[in-house]
Structure 1
Amino acid sequence: MARVYEAEAISGGLILAVSGAAIVLAQARGVYLDYVSFAPHYLVAAALIGLATTYRRLGRAPQISMTLMSCAIFVLFTNGGAVLNYLMIHPGSATIDPLLIRADAKIGFDWGAFAAAVSRLGWAANALGWVYKSSLIQLAAMILILGFSGRQVALHRFVLTGVLCSCFSIMIWSLAPSFGPSLYATLSPAVESRLGRVVDPVYTAQLRALLHDGVRTIDANSLIGLIAFPSMHTVMAAMAVWYARRTAIFWPLAILNLAMIPAILVHGGHHLVDVLGGLALFAMVAWRVARLVPDEPLAPALQVQTASGGRLIRIASILPPVFRPNSVPRS
């Protein structure tokens, strides 16, 4: 028998739902999915799950098995979520960016003026680009550190928070799409040159084309981030800092992610309210996840136990990316 924690099972169920919805929508809309381009990602995830399952069956190195399973979850969900996000694009539809720009103005924020001011910071402006690019590295580092240090509760909360926040952000974006202020404000060539933005004019042109023409083909190598509101970069920064509490890397991450805020605004091409929306989304989901995953990590058990975030649920099989826990009533 293989065993899986409930936080992993919930994440696996969401992976199945998101991936299934993406496949159905692609077929319904006549969008070609290049499955071959995604194959390496799924093979890596399958290998991670296989190793994690082997460790659990042998009853050895629980830290390694949790870490490997968490890595697999993020690989699988990132791919499925990105594809579903693309399929939510409706060509020619209006975005809520004008509304978000007005909301920024109400609180005294002007994206173009802010970007121009940051561009005058010299090397610091370019350094913010590297800060912006560090989000995925931080995410991977957090999984490794929490997993290998045996911080089971923090790791499972981290994983489940990331998956749920991504689901909610895709849902919000599908109802009220936004691409950021860079589609509506043009920076001077001098400012662009000094900034070297990650979401540069070429990236912006890709967003415009997607908004105008929609999507006909999706492959793993051409996916780009689409969501402006709520900002998932903000969610990831908040996740890294919050779940690094009581670890040696808390203060370095806290300082780094203070710099992430202007990096998100400038290099990510975000409205200020995108950042505020990301913080609000994280706070709500993290609060709920803290109640789903208990405070005390429980040792693996061979018997089916009451379903809770930290307990293991015995399952008959485990097939990537589908987790199939038995139905267990709550006490």
Structure 2
Amino acid sequence: MDAWLGYSWPDACAWISRYPRLSDILRQVYTLTLAQILFAFLFLGMANDRRRLHAAALATVFGSLATIFCWALFPSSGASAYWTLAPEIDRIVRPVVNSAYGSELNRLLVEGVTDISELQVTGLVGFPSFHTVMALMSLIAIWPYRLARLALILVNTALLPAILIHGGHNLMDVLGGTVITVISWWLGLRVFEAQDRRLPRLGYAVPAIET
């Protein structure tokens, strides 16, 4: 399906290998994805935006459960598990999730885990990409706030190629993560609003400060 869309992980790595400094920057961006969603939560809390903070928290839980459920039904190790980069390209790019790691995930899928104390994993889920879920959830959550929105747009512009190259993902993994994010955000809002309507009937006061 990636080929239908004109994408190839080895070709992307071959291209980025011509720009080693850019590859290093994308590696750092990839490793800071969790910090991005933490920033969104802290920002919304300090902004007293109860609605978007609770919706984002709920949506992140829904997104993580949906991601795990999809992967449990259809396990996938990502593009890096099925392509072996040329040694020189691998040396320059140094993907966080490289071919050797992908091969190890394939072995674990077949043989299972015999000793969990020896399990050393950077990530397990290929499709859908949870890095994509975290990145887009952060952006959607703080969207009404112009400066924060612009900052995360810049970060996520770099994060997309970082997820593909250093995350060893297929393009379809990112598209799958995007769909899950949109659905999870919608569910998060609906659940929050239903709970918000229910609280006064139960005798709880709803905080007046919210946006």
TM-score (norm 2): 0.87
2:24 counterpart of 1:126 = yes
**Mapping for residues 235-274 of structure 1, pairs under 5 Å:** 235-247=133-145, 248-274=147-173
- Which of the pair has the greater relative contact order for Cα pairs under 8 Å at 6+ separation? 2
Larger gyration radius, structure 1 or structure 2? 1
Corresponding residue for residue 293 of structure 1: 192
Q: Deviations over 1:302-327 (max 9, x none)?
A: x8248xxx959xxxxxxxxxxxxxxx
Q: What is the SS of the residue equivalent to 1:293?
A: helix
Which has the larger share of strand?
1
2:76 counterpart of 1:181 = no
Q: What is the SS of the residue equivalent to 2:2?
A: helix
Percent of paired sites with the same residue: 34
Corresponding residue for residue 198 of structure 1: 96
Q: Which residue, out of 143, 161, 182, partners 2:41?
A: 143
**Can you give the 5+ residue segments of structure 1 that lack an aligned partner in the other structure?**
1-102, 313-331
RMSD after superposition: 2.6
CA distance in 2, matches of 1:172, 1:120: 35
Please tell me whether the aligned partners of residues 137 and 181 of structure 2 are also in contact (alpha carbons under 8 angstroms): yes
Q: 1:210, CA displacement in angstroms?
A: 1.2
Please tell me whether the aligned partners of residues 85 and 99 of structure 2 are also in contact (alpha carbons under 8 angstroms): no
Q: 1:149, CA displacement in angstroms?
A: 2.4
Q: What is the SS of the residue equivalent to 1:224?
A: coil
Q: 1:175, CA displacement in angstroms?
A: 1.0
CA distance in 2, matches of 1:208, 1:158: 33
CA shift in 2, pair 1:148/1:220, >3 Å: farther
Q: 1:252, CA displacement in angstroms?
A: 0.9
CA shift in 2, pair 1:135/1:221, >3 Å: farther
Q: Deviations over 1:75-132 (max 9, x none)?
A: xxxxxxxxxxxxxxxxxxxxxxxxxxxx111111122111111221231111101111
Q: 1:145, CA displacement in angstroms?
A: 1.6
Corresponding residue for residue 110 of structure 1: 8
Q: Deviations over 1:183-217 (max 9, x none)?
A: 11110111111112111244224313312321133
**Mapping for residues 1-331 of structure 1, pairs under 5 Å:** 103-219=1-117, 222-247=120-145, 248-294=147-193, 304-305=202-203
CA distance in 2, matches of 1:221, 1:148: 38
Please tell me whether the aligned partners of residues 30 and 166 of structure 2 are also in contact (alpha carbons under 8 angstroms): yes
CA distance in 1, matches of 2:45, 2:120: 31
Q: Deviations over 1:157-198 (max 9, x none)?
A: 111111101111111111111001111111011111111211
CA distance in 2, matches of 1:190, 1:250: 38
Q: 1:220, CA displacement in angstroms?
A: 10
Q: 1:218, CA displacement in angstroms?
A: 3.1
CA shift in 2, pair 1:201/1:184, >3 Å: closer
Please tell me whether the aligned partners of residues 62 and 188 of structure 2 are also in contact (alpha carbons under 8 angstroms): no
CA distance in 1, matches of 2:93, 2:168: 12
CA distance in 2, matches of 1:212, 1:147: 44
Please tell me whether the aligned partners of residues 305 and 311 of structure 1 are also in contact (alpha carbons under 8 angstroms): no
Which has the larger share of helix?
2
Q: 1:273, CA displacement in angstroms?
A: 0.7
Structure 1's consecutive aligned runs of 4 or more residues displaced over 6 angstroms after TM superposition are none
